[in-house]
């Protein structure tokens, strides 16, 4: 993949799925989502596809196309989609023109809430509820991004080529959140939550430690030395994972 194609995949398959956790945990987003059942399809010429479905107050985000989508948004290129995520361009609606009002009002409010929780500042992070949701969204975004970069980014692909097969579990102690990343045959898949019999573990002692680590405010080697981050199992997996994580800021900026 080139840069724009990889970034488009990250936007649709790593960032957009945060709407599911946002609606699940943020009362403001949940109230907006409960107002209507609707499915919105994102289509990119020569690029990835995904859809967002709101139904009975819950949100689902999946890769691919859904034939019965109420609204279809078309993008001429991956760059077109990426510019929309930067608020620099608008999609081309090819179905559901009567639902445009929903896109410009309710859906825009929900995506603004997602942006709010994904772009933290020190004042916001001082609020426990905000920090907890930011940590969850950031952890899951990173885990999903790793899977995409292993396929789309040359440097990450080279690192993954040396990865042993197995699952690496990232977990915030004592009760999560957690995410598992399974490497097999030079590909990676992500599982939200706990996973059984991981090959390697990275345990962060609390939400503050995890948040600082995920937002690059904490040196991982110092955290390990101090015992704030504990690692176990196949440590080469963790070393490789760190190298892939370093590729995320090349595409996604907080």
pLDDT tens digits for 220-232?
888 888 999 999 9
pLDDT tens column, 21-44: 999 999 999 999 998 899 999 999
Whether 123 shows a pLDDT value over 70: the answer reads yes
* Backbone phi, psi, residue 90, to 5°: -120, 150
Task: Give the tokens for residue 2.
Answer: 């080139």
Packing angle of the helix pair 128-152, 235-245 (nearest 10 deg) = 90
In angstroms, the Cα distances linking 66 to 63, 118, 135, 175 are 9, 27, 31, 35
Q: What is the mean pLDDT of residues 90-98?
A: 89
DSSP label of 205: S
Distance (Å, whole) CA 200 – CA 232: 6
Angle (nearest 5°) at CA 204 between 9 and 194: 60
* Backbone phi, psi, residue 139, to 5°: -60, -50
Distance (Å, whole) CA 97 – CA 85: 21
User: pLDDT over 90 for what percent of the chain?
Assistant: 69
What is the separation, in whole angstroms, between the first and last Cα of the chain?
23
Q: What pLDDT score does 152 carry?
A: 87
pTM for the whole thing?
A: 0.91
């Amino acid at each position: 993949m080139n840069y724009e194609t990889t970034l488009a995949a990250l936007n649709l398959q790593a960032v957009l799925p945060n709407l599911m956790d946002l609606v699940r945990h943020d009362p403001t987003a949940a109230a907006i989502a409960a107002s209507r059942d609707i499915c919105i399809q994102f289509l990119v010429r020569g690029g990835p596809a995904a859809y967002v479905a709101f139904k009975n107050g819950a949100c689902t985000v999946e890769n691919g196309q859904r034939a019965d989508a109420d609204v279809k948004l078309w993008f001429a290129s991956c760059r077109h989609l990426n510019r929309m995520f930067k608020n620099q361009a608008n999609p081309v609606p090819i179905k559901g023109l009567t639902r445009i009002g929903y896109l410009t009002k309710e859906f825009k409010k929900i995506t603004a809430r997602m942006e709010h929780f994904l772009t933290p500042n020190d004042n916001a992070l001082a609020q426990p509820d905000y920090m907890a949701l930011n940590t969850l969204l950031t952890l899951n975004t990173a885990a999903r991004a790793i899977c995409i970069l292993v396929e789309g980014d040359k440097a990450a692909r080279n690192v993954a080529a040396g990865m042993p097969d197995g699952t690496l579990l990232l977990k915030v102690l004592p009760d999560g959140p957690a995410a598992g990343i399974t490497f097999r045959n030079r590909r990676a898949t992500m599982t939200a939550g706990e996973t059984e019999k991981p090959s390697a573990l990275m345990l962060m002692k609390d939400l503050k430690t995890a948040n600082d680590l995920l937002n690059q405010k904490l040196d991982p080697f110092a955290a390990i030395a101090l015992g704030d981050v504990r690692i176990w199992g196949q440590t080469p997996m963790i070393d490789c994972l760190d190298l892939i994580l370093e590729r995320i800021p090349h595409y996604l900026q907080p």
